[in-house]
Chains A and B, each alone.
Chain A
Amino acid sequence: MAPAIELRHVTKRFLTPSGTAYTALRELDFAVQDGEFCAVVGPTGCGKSTTLALISGLEPPSEGDVLVGGAPVRSVNRDVGYVFQVDAVFPWKSVLDNVATGPRFRGIERRQAEDRARDWIKRVGLSGFERYYPHQLSGGMRKRAALAQTLINEPRILLMDEPFSALDVQTRTLMENELLQLWSATRASVVFVTHDLEEAIALADRVVVITAGPGTVKGVYRVDLPRPRNVAEIRFQPEFSRIYQEIWNDLRDEVLVSYERSKRSVS
């Protein structure tokens, strides 16, 4: 069976404001199997968000192929859910209307869409805030509304770009466990971008480390921790620290490269 997601020698260039081409990704190669939870880590600016944009079909690759379900991606795919790194809830819709947007777009009748939305609002812990507008919510609450807005469509492919980085540690752990539970029920294929290596290991089957830009795969690591996992406790297992050490050795070099570069460009 074809992998759920496959990137083959993908290169992505952007036009910079000065008119030159900037290579954000170079010869990126990786695949996500059906039902697999894959985490992507890498230093800032290495092209993680760009990778998700390519998979979602929002951006075309400059070279190489992006395949979803074995077929090349030509446009936005209905089976893909995407939680953006920045706020993407609609400011003019209430929480309820925001969460119900996906089903409404997909032709589900209003009453039914709202019932499902209420259910999802409860799951992300926003009950009682249905009538609020985004500007009346905290940053973390907006993020949870965005999560509900995506998950309600039950996507077969789930792309998440640092979805929990705006949350406090407790809420974050809660949401991570909730996500794992949802995922084990739906068995969607997940690409989860994060800055946080601990989070990546706690959640994923596999961790992909991307090099400092232009991004390419530095290493891929299996995480053979048993499931179901409890994110709060799994960090204390010896196997967890071993994997952490192994990946961190790779990641540290890239983070340093990225940091040195940004220092140089400032001075």
Chain B
Amino acid sequence: MAFAVVVLGLWQTGTTIDATHKDGLFIDPFFYGRPSGIASQLWTWIQNGTAQGPLWLQVATTLEEAFLGFLIGVVLGVVFGVALGRVRLLSDVFAPYIKALNAMPRVVLGSIFIITIGYGIWSKVALAVVLVFFVVFFNAFQGVREVDRVLIANARILGASERQLSTHVILPSALSWILASLHTSFGFALVGAVVGEYLGAIHGIGLIIATAQATFNPNGVFAAMFILAVVALTAEVALTWLENRLIKWRPNTLEVPRI
């Protein structure tokens, strides 16, 4: 907190001191904006809306795209990850393709999606899905591979069928890997949505950034980044809560209640 105050303070003073002499400025607000300018930009958006319409609509659009992309990507990632992790034949057939796709810089797919799917939300959802899928897939796959062999042996001895083995041993064991990947992958969903909007959209935070950039308005870019940061932090809190709900059985080394 103190750190943020110091940085913002330096930034603000750096862009204000000696404004009469052009050379006396440490930081040029024309390129780098300034905190007070960012705040007033935010305030203007809240009061008067953005060039694309009311601010809440832009945030809601981006959130909708990110959430849809996140959900679809997670489901696909878990299903494929578990299937390929469990079935040797499937992983032998598909693993090379998935590795090749993963090596590709996937953000370029955004342009293709906008050409094929259009300017609406689904081209952004598609980009988010692609970004999320690989993160979740590799974690689920690895999680299945790392299941303790003794636990599998024990379940077999206790009489587990193949399906019971999946639901009672493999999924719960892989769950901590999968949940860990959700933190990163929500970030990726947001990146997918924003980059997609930046490339071409009707609404959204990415579009605000693109507009601000086109009009040389650094305060606008920073203000949009600030909104994104708030969204990402909120999602992070929600995911941590979900994780703690789902993995009650794991010792929580970070939050040991003192008694």
Binding site for B on A (CB under 8 A): 56, 58, 76, 78, 80-82, 84, 86-94, 101-102, 105-106, 133-136, 149-150, 153
B159 partner, pick from A87, A102, A134, A135, beta carbons under 8 A: A102
CB neighbours (8 Å) of B172 from chain A are 90, 92
Task: Contacts A102-B159, A105-B160, A105-B164 given; indicate if A133 touches B154 (C-beta within 8 A).
Answer: no
Which residue on chain A has the smallest CB distance to residue B172? Answer: A92
Contact yes or no, A105 B249, CB < 8 A: no
29 contacts between A and B (CB under 8 A): A56-B153, A58-B156, A58-B157, A76-B157, A82-B157, A84-B150, A84-B153, A84-B154, A86-B150, A87-B150, A88-B151, A88-B154, A89-B154, A90-B168, A91-B249, A91-B250, A92-B172, A92-B175, A94-B249, A102-B159, A105-B155, A105-B158, A105-B160, A105-B161, A105-B168, A134-B249, A135-B249, A150-B158, A153-B159
Task: Contacts A90-B169, A105-B164 given; indicate if A82 touches B154 (C-beta within 8 A).
Answer: yes
Task: Contacts A105-B161, A149-B158 given; indicate if A88 touches B250 (C-beta within 8 A).
Answer: no
CB neighbours (8 Å) of B251 from chain A are 135-136
Contact yes or no, A58 B153, CB < 8 A: yes
Least distance between A109 CB and chain B CB atoms (Å): 15
CB neighbours (8 Å) of A78 from chain B are 159
The 8 closest A-B pairs by CB, nearest first: A105-B159, A88-B154, A92-B172, A102-B158, A133-B249, A92-B249, A82-B157, A76-B156
User: Is there a chain A Cβ closer than 8 Å to B41's Cβ?
Assistant: no
CB neighbours (8 Å) of B250 from chain A are 91-92, 135
Task: Contacts A91-B249, A92-B249, A105-B164 given; indicate if A81 touches B151 (C-beta within 8 A).
Answer: no
Which residue on chain B has the smallest CB distance to residue A86? Answer: B150
CB neighbours (8 Å) of B247 from chain A are 92
User: Is there a chain A Cβ closer than 8 Å to B173's Cβ?
Assistant: yes
Binding site for A on B (CB under 8 A): 150-151, 153-161, 164, 168-169, 172-173, 175, 247-251
When chains A and B are docked, how far (Å) is the Cα of A76 from the Cα of B157? Answer: 6
A106 partner, pick from B159, B168, B175, B248, beta carbons under 8 A: B159
| Of listed A84, A88, A93, A149, residue having the most chain B CB within 10 A | A88
Least distance between B153 CB and chain A CB atoms (Å): 5
How many contacts between A and B, using CB within 8 angstroms?
Answer: 64
| Of listed B155, B161, B173, residue having the most chain A CB within 10 A | B155
Interface of A is mostly: loop
| Of listed A56, A86, A102, A135, residue having the most chain B CB within 10 A | A102
B249 partner, pick from A80, A84, A86, A93, beta carbons under 8 A: A93
Least distance between A49 CB and chain B CB atoms (Å): 11
When chains A and B are docked, how far (Å) is the Cα of A135 from the Cα of B250? Answer: 7
When chains A and B are docked, how far (Å) is the Cα of A102 from the Cα of B154? Answer: 10
When chains A and B are docked, how far (Å) is the Cα of A56 from the Cα of B160? Answer: 14
Least distance between B161 CB and chain A CB atoms (Å): 7
Which residue on chain B has the smallest CB distance to residue A76? Answer: B156
Contact yes or no, A81 B248, CB < 8 A: no
Which residue on chain A has the smallest CB distance to residue B173? Answer: A92
CB neighbours (8 Å) of B157 from chain A are 56, 58, 76, 80-82, 150
